Amino acid sequence: MSVDLSDYSVKELNEAWIAVDDHAYPDRAIEIYKLLKARGEAAFYEEPELEHGGFLSKVLNYIFIPTMHGGVIAADIELENDLARMKEQRVLALISSSKKA
């Protein structure tokens, strides 16, 4: 069964990107990735910059005040982002190898 992802919101596409197993479903991962990129989106969560303070303020807040995002601690978001970035590299390699074939 095929799911039409073209009507997904950016948030839904990001959730699908995090959830998709690119080893088991490489075509689906490529499709989600291309849809995110076509909308000019990153394939991971981008945390907004702090309004006040610079890098040091961000680091101190990260260390001493666990930031909550919908019940998720900032460290969990960073781990999820790292996993998404690694998945992105694998999917880019898949896209590159399919173009060469």
Res 34: pLDDT? 93
Q: Does 85 fall in a domain?
A: yes
CB atoms inside a 10 Å sphere around CB 49 = 9
The first and second tokens of residue 43, run together, are: 């394939």
Q: Does 2 fall in a domain?
A: no
Q: Which has the higher per-residue pLDDT, 64 or 41?
A: 41
Q: Does 92 fall in a domain?
A: yes
CB atoms inside a 10 Å sphere around CB 78 = 14
Res 98: pLDDT? 85
* Averaged pLDDT for residues 12-33: 92
Domain limits for position 51:
10-100
pTM of the model: 0.68
Average pLDDT, the chain: 79
Per-residue model confidence as pLDDT tens digits over 50-98: 445 567 766 666 665 555 555 556 677 778 888 888 999 999 999 999 8
Res 49: pLDDT? 46
Q: Which has the higher per-residue pLDDT, 6 or 75?
A: 6
Total number of domains in the chain: 1
Cα separation, 57 vs 73, in Å, equals: 18
pLDDT band for 26, please (50, 70, 90 cuts): very high
